[in-house]
Amino acid sequence: MSHRSRWLTLAVVAAAVLVARPLWADDPDTPKDKDAKAGKKADAGPKPPTAKAEAGPLTAAVTLKGVVEAESAAEVQVRPKAWMGPLLVKKAVPHGAAVKAGDVVVEFDAEKLEQAVKDARQERELADLSIKMAELELPILQKQSPLDLAAAEREAKNAADDLDKFLKVDKPLSVEAAGFALKSSEFYLESAKDELKQLEKMYKDKDLTEETETMILKRYKQSVEQAEFSLKQSRNRTKQTLEVDLPRREQATKDAATKADISLAKAKESIPLALRQKALGLEKAKYEQAKARERLADLEKDLAAMTVKAPADGMAYHGKYARGQWSTPGGPAGLAAGAMVQPNDVFLTVVDPGKVAVRADADEKERARLKAGQAARYSPTADPDGKLAGEVAAVGAAPLGGRFEVRVKLDGKADGLVPGTTGSVRVVTAKKESAVTVPAAVVFSDDDGDGKYVYLPAADGAKPKKKPVTVGLTAGDKVEITDGLAAGDEVLTAKP
């Protein structure tokens, strides 16, 4: 295209644009100018969102998490009287099994307990023998004790008499006898010498044969020698008697008397003590016998308790139920063979599945709205559509762990519910047939929380108006307005 042709085309397009402009573009009397001349204000922007106060029925409710628990539950435990060792499970019914009263539910291994019973029986037999022996010995000792004491008194008296006699009679007489014996020996020697001298003189005067003379003189010389030797022995015996035998005898007699006195004193003290000791021994033996019998009886009862029977009809649950939770004995496996259970611990609970209630926990804010007699509805977790009607039976007066216990009694039979299953509880706390409500989000409060208010929209772009209100029930995302608004009033949904 030539340069001239290009300019021609541009001129045609420009003319078309000018023709297409609105006729009122440069008209001083456009609609905008007309509205301004009529005194109308310009539009201030889009209208803020609002909500209307509505009139109708209002139901306030609290929804809580609940757990089914049995109203009737019999806890099973073994309370041994003598056996203090752990209990080892031999076999047990399965968790949740249906049982009848008297059925065997748990058997514990009783091997060690059986040995303890055997030992206790032997202890009882030994105690019985000790009693018999003590009962035999005590009467004998009671009869023998006076005799032993009398014998000790006699021995002491005899020893004293012997000492007295020795000092007064035997010792002086022995001294005298020793002197007399010595004197006799001396006299015998002197006599023998005199006789020998006389014979020697006689034989000189008389005419005797030499043989006879020799024989007689020899005999008397022997007599003199014998008398001399006897005197020597007598002197030795006298010295032995006076210096050794008599002092020793005197000391021995004194020692015997002293020992007899000591023995008598000891007998006076020890014989009654021995008698008392024997009597106390008999009492102790009887006490030990009673203890042995009692221990044996307790162990036999403990042995019988190793076979545990169901106390009632129902379902057997392993463990103990407490505040919606089951504590499992013996570890995660429950009452499996080999599990260990401590004495006095609840290891099994028999519950009645036909009589159940629901237990829930409420916080402080919810507790203030709950009370006994309120209508309730329970929805099981396994069947949310299977709602069961009931009512609040009791509300805890004091918190435990920051929560208040709420018990809900169900109407009629709760078929299919078993203790331990969970669900939700909806409790109707208040209900009004007619109430003015607004969304809870449109009601505001001051920083101090004392005043409640809403914002009313203003016409013609004016500033919204702050309106004080009085609130009543709260139900979900709705709140009742008891004063300050009427049905149909509009309020802003957000602060301006």
Please report which confidence band the pLDDT of residue 64 belongs to, taking 50, 70 and 90 as the band edges.
Answer: very high
**What burial class does residue 479 get, using C-beta atoms within 10 Å of its C-beta: 0-12 exposed, 13-18 middle, 19+ buried?**
buried
Residue type at 312 in one-letter notation: A
Let me know whether 197 and 226 are in one domain: yes
pLDDT at 202: 73
Let me know whether 147 and 288 are in one domain: yes
Task: In whole angstroms, give the CA distance from residue 116 to residue 110.
Answer: 10
Higher-pLDDT residue of 329, 473 = 473
Average pLDDT score, the chain: 83
DSSP state of 285: H
CATH number of the domain to which 285 belongs:
1.10.287
Q: Which of 19-28, 78-87, 417-426 has the lowest mean pLDDT?
A: 19-28
Total structural domains in the chain? 3
Let me know whether 194 and 322 are in one domain: no
Please report which confidence band the pLDDT of residue 463 belongs to, taking 50, 70 and 90 as the band edges.
Answer: confident
pLDDT per position as a tens digit, 155-209:
989 989 988 988 888 888 888 888 888 888 888 888 888 887 887 777 665 555 5
pLDDT at 45: 62
Task: In whole angstroms, give the CA distance from residue 348 to residue 328.
Answer: 9
Is residue 384 situated within a structural domain?
no
**Residue among 310, 360, 372 nearest 92 (CA):** 310
Give the three-state DSSP class for 231.
helix
Let me know whether 188 and 85 are in one domain: no
DSSP state of 167: I
Please report which confidence band the pLDDT of residue 458 belongs to, taking 50, 70 and 90 as the band edges.
Answer: confident
Sheet with 73-77, side-by-side order of all strands: 73-77, 346-351, 314-318, 97-99
Whether 299 contacts 85, CB under 8 Å = no
Find the Cα–Cα–Cα–Cα dihedral 158, 161, 166, 169, rounded to 10°: -130
Q: What is the domain extent for residue 342?
A: 81-108+309-346
Please report which confidence band the pLDDT of residue 313 belongs to, taking 50, 70 and 90 as the band edges.
Answer: very high
Share of the chain residues as helix, strand and coil, in percent rounded to the nearest 5 = 45, 25, 25
Let me know whether 124 and 103 are in one domain: no
Cα 421 to Cα 289, 390, 404, 449: the distances in Å are 54, 17, 20, 41
Q: How many CB atoms lie within 10 A of CB 421?
A: 16
Q: Which of 67-81, 318-332, 422-436, 475-489 has the lowest mean pLDDT?
A: 318-332
pLDDT at 15: 40
